[in-house]
Amino acid sequence: MTNTLHRYGDSESFHDDFILFCIPARGINDEGAVEKQKKFLEICAKHQPSNMGNGNRGSFNPERHLNPTAHWNRDHSPDWQGVIDGVEKPGTCAAVFNSREKAEGALRDVIAADLGLSVNMSTSVSGAKACAEGCGIKRHSVEYSLGFNDPHDHLPNSQVLKLSTMCGHGMVSFNMARKMLDMVREGRRTPEQAVATLARFCPCGVYNPSRAQRLLEESRDHSG
């Protein structure tokens, strides 16, 4: 089970969304796992991920010393090293890539490193199959999301769902996603500014800024 399973969208909408997870099993292979997971993240960082996380923090974090007036103009650079250094105990580490080529390159290097930890990929079924074949391995299992059941029509529209569900723990609220969509459409904020705001709410580091920016730009262009 992965907290990225319920990302909303059809298969095509995940062409720029590939997530690699590295997870030890408690009491089985967690001894020495911290250094192995750091190695996993180091490998991923070399392949230009869109985001990374160690279960406690992602690459785009809130900063305590800033006040609200600095919010939109702060440094939006990802902090890969901070994520790597922040791995202090065995847990879940992840990296998000915005292309199959990058994800495949990272996976190929992870396979070669032979870390002895469970690694899985979250994307469309066809995308995962293609990545596995490109790395010379076979996909051994697949997990499907059955989608959303809302007979009373309480869910927001698909644009909000696509942005919000990229944080599988629900830390990016529907209202926040809707607000960012409105601000970008109205020209009050750029897609880059809106994305940096949304990504900071996801401490796992699995929120995909590249996909979010594309979705915001598509929404803005279609509304015009």
Task: State pLDDT tens for residues 54-83.
Answer: 988 888 766 666 666 666 777 778 889 999
User: Angle at which helices 209-223 and 174-185 pack, to 10 degrees?
Assistant: 50
For residue 100, the Cα-to-chain-centroid distance in whole angstroms is: 14
More confident: 203 or 188: 188
Q: How far apart are CA 1 and CA 165, in angstroms?
A: 15
Structural domain boundaries, residue 92: 11-141+153-223
Give pLDDT, residue 1. 60
Cα-flanking dihedrals φ and ψ of residue 97, to 5°? -120, 150
Residue 147, in any domain of the structure: no
Residue 90, in any domain of the structure: yes
- The arithmetic mean of pLDDT across residues 187-209, rounded, is 90
For tokens 């929120």, name the residue: 207
User: Is the pLDDT reported for residue 128 higher than 80?
Assistant: yes
**Average pLDDT, rounded, for the chain:** 90
Q: How far apart are CA 206 and CA 196, in angstroms?
A: 13
Residue 2, in any domain of the structure: no
Contacts of 114 (CB under 8 A, 6+ apart): none
Residue 5, in any domain of the structure: no
Residue 118, in any domain of the structure: yes
Residue 73, in any domain of the structure: yes
Closest CA to 178 of 125, 133, 215, 148: 215
Q: pTM (2 decimals)?
A: 0.89
User: Is the pLDDT reported for residue 197 higher than 90?
Assistant: no
Q: Alpha-carbon dihedral of residues 184, 189, 192, 196, nearest 10 degrees? A: -100
Residue 132, in any domain of the structure: yes
Residue 6, in any domain of the structure: no
Closest CA to 49 of 93, 88, 10: 93
- Mean pLDDT is lowest, of 71-75, 106-110, 124-128, 148-152, for 71-75
Cβ-count burial of 139 within 10 angstroms (0-12 exposed, 13-18 middle, 19+ buried)?
Answer: middle
Q: How far apart are CA 72 and CA 24, in angstroms?
A: 37
- The arithmetic mean of pLDDT across residues 191-218, rounded, is 92
- The arithmetic mean of pLDDT across residues 115-119, rounded, is 94
Give pLDDT, residue 66. 65
Instruction: Give the residues across from 27 on adjacent strands.
Output: none
Number of domains in the chain: 1
Q: How far apart are CA 45 and CA 50, in angstroms?
A: 9
